Structure 1
């Protein structure tokens, strides 16, 4: 059987060069030309492929190396086929869809962005920006721990205001970088001081400008006055969030 990694708009020779020192999940990596594209694959022993961290990282490592040669449509982890003729038939049967996917992401990279602020500074800035909450906290401090029900209610109000400010900060960031972005996918923040967690599709030539725009816009936020943002940019990574096809063909059904 055959294990699939992805389809690239690069030659077999250029892919072989960039993958020369990388191992496949179960054997050497191979390249096969199908139409105008090159499929990267390796042999598979028919054993079930479990989503273990080591194997997921190995799959991703191959895709990341392929990205150095150009645009890549990634295969989902664990995708296998019975034989190469089966893969060729499937790819030719959805040729127009594959071509459209390549055109959509051609010349672009996927970048993950995480922007957060220190919690204490964010809380202080929230209270400074909301006089009623600040006054309520001062009154509760005078009452002491006996006002535990009131303290709990105040905590809920503060959390709501933090979330409102976080959403406003996210909108400000997105508006600042929108001209440099083809598309984006928002993620749920891990906490109320993470103002942005998202994946972006960006022109490769604009990557540096995009990163500078993120840094400048985040630094200008008043979300945590006196404290700068923590910015984590991940990538370029395989285009899993912006490729709809992902080579997720029903191989068993096609072979029946």
Structure 2
């Protein structure tokens, strides 16, 4: 029987999974597969599994319940093994690695931060602070320049927007870094200029949250901070 694997914990980790559903349209019971000092939380895998909201939430609920009682290595959605023996073999093969990662994640949680800024605000700043941009803009408005001026202004503004976003992203990460054990940056998407996760231990959680709140206040309403956490440490497994 193919099994769906949710996460890895220490063998003596409390596994209070009562009331939680497994993934799939006909969820089976959640159970543990142990190998020495390690344990994987699994269920029977459905024949077909897609990332539907209900199943994503079921997967996440298992991680959060386990996380409440200690370190957990949360595995990505959709991971399966051929059977329980294959799970045990994987736990035994990577035993030292998993034990080390669990130790590193003890009393830690992930905080995921995305930040965007209103580009109209940046545009106004650039036109106010850049003599070259202002000169090009004035010439375009007056109709006294060449037809190439709008393209030149567009390129200048685009490069300046990117440079300013990079400075902002660097400053935000630098302000939060002293309160985190690790960080993992990802490529931002959409209007975001920062997409980053921090691994924060319990002792520094209040300092981290205060620092995030402080820099958000300092940058003002033009910057949109979206902080999500505490989360299972997906980015640090």
TM-score band, normalised by shorter chain: 0.7 to 0.9
Match of 1:212 in 2: 210
Alignment of 1:151 with 2:150, yes or no, is yes
In the alignment, which of 224, 228, 231 is matched to residue 237 of structure 1? Answer: 231
Structure-1-length-normalised TM-score: 0.80
Structure-2-length-normalised TM-score: 0.85
Partner of 2:68, secondary structure, is helix
Partner of 2:112, secondary structure, is strand
Partner of 1:125, secondary structure, is helix
Pairing of 1:76-225 with structure 2 (within 5 A): 76-143=76-143, 149-191=148-190, 194-221=192-219
- Taking the aligned partners of 1:190 and 1:111, their CA distance within structure 2 comes to 18
- Taking the aligned partners of 1:237 and 1:167, their CA distance within structure 2 comes to 26
CA RMSD of aligned residues (A): 2.5
- Deviation string, structure 1 residues 74-97 (Cα, Å, up to 9, x no partner): 233222334434322331232111
Evaluate the alpha carbon distance shift between residue 4 and residue 126 of structure 1 in structure 2; reply closer, same or farther with a 3 A threshold: same
- Taking the aligned partners of 1:139 and 1:238, their CA distance within structure 2 comes to 54
- Taking the aligned partners of 1:194 and 1:219, their CA distance within structure 2 comes to 18
- Deviation string, structure 1 residues 137-173 (Cα, Å, up to 9, x no partner): 12211218x9653212211110100110111111111
- 1:182–1:202 CA contact under 8 A, matched in 2: yes
- Deviation string, structure 1 residues 191-220 (Cα, Å, up to 9, x no partner): 5x6342111111133223212212322433
Report the more deviating stretch, 83-92 or 94-103. 83-92
The Cα of 1:32 is off from its aligned counterpart by: 4.4
- Deviation string, structure 1 residues 101-128 (Cα, Å, up to 9, x no partner): 1122222111110122222222212222
- Taking the aligned partners of 1:21 and 1:206, their CA distance within structure 2 comes to 32
- 1:10–1:70 CA contact under 8 A, matched in 2: no
The Cα of 1:28 is off from its aligned counterpart by: 2.1
Evaluate the alpha carbon distance shift between residue 103 and residue 11 of structure 1 in structure 2; reply closer, same or farther with a 3 A threshold: closer
- Taking the aligned partners of 2:119 and 2:163, their CA distance within structure 1 comes to 15
Partner of 2:50, secondary structure, is coil
Report the more deviating stretch, 3-12 or 152-161. 3-12
- 1:3–1:42 CA contact under 8 A, matched in 2: yes
Evaluate the alpha carbon distance shift between residue 75 and residue 227 of structure 1 in structure 2; reply closer, same or farther with a 3 A threshold: closer
Match of 2:74 in 1: 74
